[in-house]
A and B are shown apart, each in its own frame.
Chain A
Amino acid sequence: MTAAEPDAAAAPADIRPPVWSHAGIGLVVVLLLGVLAWALAENVPGWTEGTALEEIGAAVEYPVYAIAVGLLGNLLLSVLGVRDRLSGGFRTEFFIKTGLVLLGASINLSLIVDSAGRAVAQALLLVSAVFLFTWWLAGRLGLDDKLRALLASAVSICGVSAAITAAGAVQARKEQLAYTASLVILFALPSIFVLPALADAFGLDAAVAGAWIGGNIDTTAAVTAAGALAGEEALQIASIVKVTQNALMGIVAVALTAYFAFRVERTAGSPRPQAIELWRRFPKFVLGFVAASVIATIYLNNASASTGPETIAVANDLRTWFFVFAFVSIGLEFRVGALRQAGWRPVGVFAAATVFNLVVALGIASVLFAGFEF
């Protein structure tokens, strides 16, 4: 087995035919574990009060419990031999995107407008730099062009979603997609905890920390988890930056389709990528995120000073639940076997690209979001 040909058994839930009854049970597992994680987040500070663990108990927030509970659930289901069968219910993308649409309701439209220019500039610079670096490095290490495209898209844009889109654009094989998706989660998990800690250690203000987190962590769910750990303002900027990067996915997909059709494969009669592809591959939840902000901003401008914020607080509570379920799903989707199946070259490319992304994103965020006021 070569690095480019990992075991097909590694295929994540997304790329196997779903068995709906199993997926339904998987969904129930996610919901139950989410309730457990929430119960821990609510009660551990009280349980540890007055003990040696009081400070830790007070500091640990719900994303940590949700991911930890997901990982433990993953271990338990793997030992029982049912994890793969239930994995169709681990819908990280659905939960996180629904949560992000609801998050849009808590972000005043003026914040999106004020930060949009910087977010677009950062996304364009960062996606271009990281994509080209990853593509170049993977080429130097002799990786297959399709795997190069998947790795570069995943690292530079938005993780698993981008890998899925790129896989369709370059006609990749499902094993390559499964492998890339596993790598994304493998690298995203530590980033959730490391980046907020580093942002704190570097003394970054909320906007720069948020822009750094949003520009650096690959997968949208992990960005949200890290942003939530860094604070509400950092979460808002991280989400705006990540949503902007998501919006570039369609453009990259069309560019990849054209590049592979005309340069890499050169098949006679390959259909030209059409403009409609931009819309087809555009992540629609971005529209939902902006629409929610518009709706909530209009609502708040017309509601009373007391009822308006109270109502939006309900949306925030519901949003948190969707995030809890998404973070539990991240833990459940984690596959330790990916490293063994990968070989060192793609892992090396991904690691190097992540470090490159880390440094470049910090530089760009520090310049573009310096002095940003909420």
Chain B
Amino acid sequence: MSDGDTATPGVERARRIALNEDWAATIAGLALLILILAGVITADVIP
């Protein structure tokens, strides 16, 4: 492999997805927690 290779689009895409997934998981987790604490999601709706 030449050392001068640049990152392939596949790696860039993977990095972007990882960053987006990171934020998405953070937002989803906190949003779900707030809904639980607010009483919107209760034990009845979770199998």
Contact = CB atoms under 8 A, between A and B. Distances in A.
A134 interface: no
A210 B30 CA distance: 24
B33 A102 contact: yes
B23 A284 contact: yes
Given A145-B3, A285-B22, A11 B10 contact: yes
Interface string A136-148: 0000000011100
A94 B24 contact: yes
A161 interface: yes
Interface in A292-323: 292, 295-296, 299, 310-311, 313-315, 317-318, 321
Contacts of A105: 33, 36
Contact of A38 (B8, B29, B33, B47): B47
A284 B15 contact: no
Contacts of A104: 29
Contact of B4 (A101, A265, A283, A296): A265
A95 B32 CA distance: 13
Given A105-B33, A311-B36, A172 B26 contact: no
A101 B8 contact: no
A17 B43 contact: no
Contacts, number: 140
Interface in B1-47: 1, 3-15, 17-19, 21-30, 32-34, 36-37, 39, 41-43, 46-47
Chain A interface size range: 35 or more
Nearest to A178: B10
A14 B15 CA distance: 9
B8 to A, nearest CB: 5
B7 A5 contact: no
A105 B37 CA distance: 10
B44 to A, nearest CB: 9
Contact of B32 (A18, A91, A102, A146): A102
A165 interface: yes
A95 B24 CA distance: 10
Contact of A174 (B14, B27, B47): B14
A370 interface: no
B17 A14 contact: yes
Contact of B43 (A93, A98, A280, A317): A317
Interface in A143-173: 144-146, 161, 164-165, 167-168, 171-173
Contacts of A19: none
Contacts of B25: 93-98, 100-101, 285, 288
A101 B42 contact: no
30 contacts: A15-B11, A15-B14, A35-B47, A93-B21, A94-B28, A97-B26, A98-B29, A98-B32, A101-B25, A101-B28, A101-B33, A102-B32, A164-B18, A168-B11, A168-B15, A171-B6, A171-B7, A172-B7, A177-B11, A264-B3, A265-B3, A265-B4, A284-B22, A285-B26, A292-B29, A315-B32, A315-B33, A315-B36, A318-B32, A318-B36
Interface of B: 1, 3-15, 17-19, 21-30, 32-34, 36-37, 39, 41-43, 46-47
Interface of A: 4-5, 11, 14-18, 35, 38, 91, 93-102, 104-105, 144-146, 161, 164-165, 167-168, 171-174, 177, 264-265, 267, 280, 283-285, 287-288, 291-292, 295-296, 299, 310-311, 313-315, 317-318, 321
